[in-house]
Structure 1
Amino acid sequence: MERPYLKAYPQSVRWEIDLPEVPVYQALFDKAARYPERTALIFMGKRISYRDLVGMADRFAAALQRRYAIQKGDRVGIILPNSPQNVIATVACQRIGAIPVQFNPLYVAREIAYQVRDSGCRVMITLDLFWQKVREAGGAEAYIWTGVQDFLNFPLNFLYRLKAKPPRIPASDAAHFMDLLQESADGLQVPAVDPKEDLAVLLYTGGTTGVSKGVMLTHYNITSNITQIREWLNLDESRHHTVLCALPMFHSYGFTAAVNMGLAHGCTLILVPRFDPGDLLKTIAKYRPTLFPGVPTMYIGLLNHPDMAKYDLSSIELCVTGAAAMPVELLQKFEQVTGATIMEGYGLTESSPVTHANPRVGTRKPGSVGLPYPCTDVRIVDLETGADLPPGGEGEVLIRGPQVMKGYWNKPEETAETLKDGWLHTGDIGRMDEDGYLYIVDRKKDMIIAGGFNIYPREIDEVLYQHPAVLEACAVGVPDAYRGETVKAFVVLKPGAQATEQEILDFCRERLAAYKRPRSVEFLPELPKSTVGKVLRRVLVEREKQKSKSAVS
Structure 2
Amino acid sequence: MDTPAASNEGLRPWIASYPDGIVWDDVIDTTPVHEQVLAACAKNPGAVALDFLGGTTSFGELAESIVAFAGALQSQFGVTKGTRVALMLPNTPFYPIAYYGVLRAGGTVVNCNPLYTVAELGHITANAGADIMVTLDLQQIFEKGEALLKAGHVKKLIVAHFPNALPLVKKILFSVAKRKDLAKVSQSPHAGVITSFEDLLARKDSPSPVTVDPSKDIAVQQYTGGTTGIPKGALLTHANISANMSQIDKWGDGLFLPRSTVVAVLPFFHIFAMTVCMNVPLSNGTRVVMLPRFELKALLNLLTRTKANVLPAVPTLLNAIARADTATAEQLSSLEVAISGGAALPDEVRSAFAKKSKALLAEGYGLTEASPVVCCAALRKASKPMSIGLPLPGTDIRFVDVDSGKVVGVGENGELQVKGPQVMAGYYENAEASQDAFMDGWLRTGDVGHMDEDGYVFLVDRIKDLIICSGFNVYPRTIEEATMTHEAVEEVNVIGVPDEYRGEAPVAFVKLKAGQSVTEADLKTFLAGKLNKIEMPKEIIFKDALPKTLIGKLSKKELREEYAQTKGRKS
Whether these two folds match at TM > 0.5 is: yes
The answer to whether the 8 A contact 1:57-1:91 is kept is yes
The answer as to whether partners of 2:145 and 2:157 remain within 8 angstroms in 1 is no
Q: What is the letter of the counterpart of residue 115 of structure 1?
A: I
CA distance in 2, matches of 1:363, 1:310: 20
- Residue 414 of structure 1, CA deviation: 0.3
Deviation at 1:544, TM superposition (A): 5.8
Of 77, 84, 87, which residue of structure 2 is paired with 1:78? 87
Check the 8 A contact 1:288/1:315 in 2, yes or no.
Answer: yes
How far apart are the structure 2 equivalents of 1:102 and 1:279? 25
Matches of 1:488 and 1:255, distance apart in 2: 26
Aligned length: 483
Q: Which residue of 2 aligns with 1:32?
A: 41
Q: Deviations over 1:69-109 (max 9, x none)?
A: 11111001110001111110010000011001110010111
- 1:104–1:11 Cα change, 3 Å: same
In the TM superposition, residue 131 of structure 1 has moved relative to its aligned partner by 1.8
* Contact 2:258/2:285 (<8 A) preserved: no
Change (3 A) 1:182 1:42: same
SS at match of 2:125: helix
Q: CA deviation at 1:24?
A: 1.2
* Aligned CA-pair RMSD: 3.2
- Higher mean C-alpha displacement, 355-364 vs 389-398: 355-364
Show CA shifts across 1:292-326 (max 9, x none). Answer: 11110011111122311285211111111111111
Residue 391 of structure 2 corresponds to 372
**1:16 deviation in Å?**
0.7
Q: Which amino acid aligns with 1:196?
A: S
Matches of 1:414 and 1:237, distance apart in 2: 35
Q: Is the 1:33–1:51 contact (alpha carbons within 8 Å) kept by the matching residues of 2?
A: yes
Query: How much does 1:266 deviate?
Result: 1.1
| Cα deviation digits, residues 38-85 of structure 1 (max 9, x gap) | 000001111000010010011011111111111111001110001111
1:217 aligned partner: 236
What CA distance in whole angstroms lies between the structure 2 residues aligned with 1:180 and 1:418?
Answer: 40
SS class of match (2:185): coil
Q: Distance in 1 between matches of 2:543 and 2:201?
A: 50
C-alpha distance 547-411 of structure 1, shift in aligned 2 (>3 A):
farther
- Given that 2:256 and 2:281 are in contact with CA atoms closer than 8 Å, whether structure 1 keeps it comes out as no
Question: Which position in structure 1 is the counterpart of 2:403?
Answer: 384
Determine if contact 2:25/2:393 at 8 Å carries over to the other structure: yes
Shift of 1:154: 2.2
Shift of residue 361, structure 1, vs aligned partner: 3.8
Per the alignment, do residues 305 and 88 of structure 1 end up closer, same or farther by CA in structure 2, a change over 3 Å counting?
same
Distance 1:302 1:232 in 2: 26
The match for 2:326 is: 307
Tell me how far 1:209 sits from its aligned partner: 3.8
C-alpha change, 1:106 and 1:488, in structure 2 (3 Å) is closer
Counterpart contact for 1:240–1:266, Cα < 8 Å: no
8 Å contact kept, 1:281–1:311: no
Gaps of 5+ in 1: 448-456, 462-475, 477-484, 495-521
Runs (4 or more) in structure 1 with deviation over 3 Å come to: 206-209, 236-239, 487-494, 533-536, 538-541, 543-553
Among 264, 275, 285, the alignment partner of 2:304 is 285
> Given the alignment, which residue of 15, 22, 29 partners 1:20?
29
CA distance in 2, matches of 1:289, 1:196: 35
Which residue of structure 2 aligns with residue 47 of structure 1?
56
- Judged with a 3 Å threshold, the aligned counterparts in structure 2 of structure 1 residues 546 and 420 are, in CA distance, closer, same or farther, namely farther
Give deviations 1:189-244, integer Å, cap 9, x for gaps.
12100001111111111578411111111111111111111111101676521100
Asked if 2 retains the 8 angstrom alpha-carbon contact of 1:146 and 1:176, the reply is yes
What is the aligned partner in structure 1 of residue 96 from structure 2? 87
Tell me: CA distance 1:240–1:548, structure 2 relative to 1, closer, same or farther (3 Å). farther
Contact 1:282–1:311 (CA under 8 A) maintained in structure 2: no
In structure 1, the partner of 2:184 is 168
Q: Once the 2 structures are TM-superposed, how far is the Cα of residue 540 of structure 1 from its aligned partner?
A: 6.6
Change (3 A) 1:7 1:548: farther
Measured after TM superposition, the shift of residue 336 of structure 1 is 3.3
Taking structure 1 as reference, are residues 386 and 141 closer, same or farther at Cα in structure 2, changes over 3 Å only? same
Q: Aligned equivalents of 1:200 and 1:92: distance in 2? A: 11
- Following superposition, the deviation at residue 249 of structure 1 comes to 1.1
Change (3 A) 1:439 1:181: same
1:231-287 Cα offsets, whole Å, 9 max, x none, are 111016765211001111111100001100111111100111111112111111111
Alignment of 1:133-282 (within 5 A): 133-138=144-149, 139-161=153-175, 162-163=177-178, 165=180, 166-170=182-186, 171-186=191-206, 188-205=207-224, 209-235=228-254, 239-282=258-301
Paired position in structure 2 for 1:107: 116
Alpha-carbon offset, residue 335 of structure 1 = 2.6
Contact 1:391 1:432 in 2 (8 A): yes
Percent identity between the two aligned chains = 34
Is the CA contact 1:222–1:352 (under 8 Å) kept in the aligned structure 2?
yes
> Aligned partners of 1:240, 1:197: CA distance in 2, in Å?
34
Q: CA deviation at 1:160?
A: 1.8
Q: 1:424 to 1:19 in 2, by over 3 A?
A: same
Structure 2 counterpart of 1:169, one-letter code: V
Letter in 1 for 2:385: P
Per-residue deviation at 1:419? 2.1
Distance 1:369 1:239 in 2: 27
Cα distance, 1:546 vs. partner? 8.1
Q: Do residues 445 (structure 1) and 464 (structure 2) align?
A: yes
Shift of the 329–540 alpha-carbon distance from structure 1 to 2, 3 Å rule, reads: closer
* 1:378–1:398 contact (8 Å) kept in structure 2: yes
Output the CA distance in 2 between the equivalents of 1:164 and 1:430: 51
Deviations 1:358-385 (A, max 9, x none): 1134551110001100010110110011
Letter of the 2:146 partner, please give it: R
Question: CA 1:491 to 1:96, structure 2 compared with 1: closer, same or farther past 3 Å?
Answer: closer
Q: Identify the residue that residue 133 of structure 2 maps to in structure 1.
A: 124
CA distance in 2, matches of 1:102, 1:238: 27
Distance, in Å, in 1 between the alignment partners of 2:86 and 2:256 is 33
SS of residue paired to 1:368: coil
Residues 396, 429 of structure 1: 8 Å contact kept: yes
Which stretch has the larger CA shift, 338-347 or 162-171?
A: 162-171
Distance 2:64 2:47 in 1: 14
Aligned to 2:298, the other structure's residue is in SS state helix
Give the aligned partner of residue 568 of structure 2: none
Range with bigger deviation, 203-212 or 244-253: 203-212
1:60 and 2:69 equivalent? yes
Structure 2 residue corresponding to 1:404, chosen from 419, 423, 430:
423
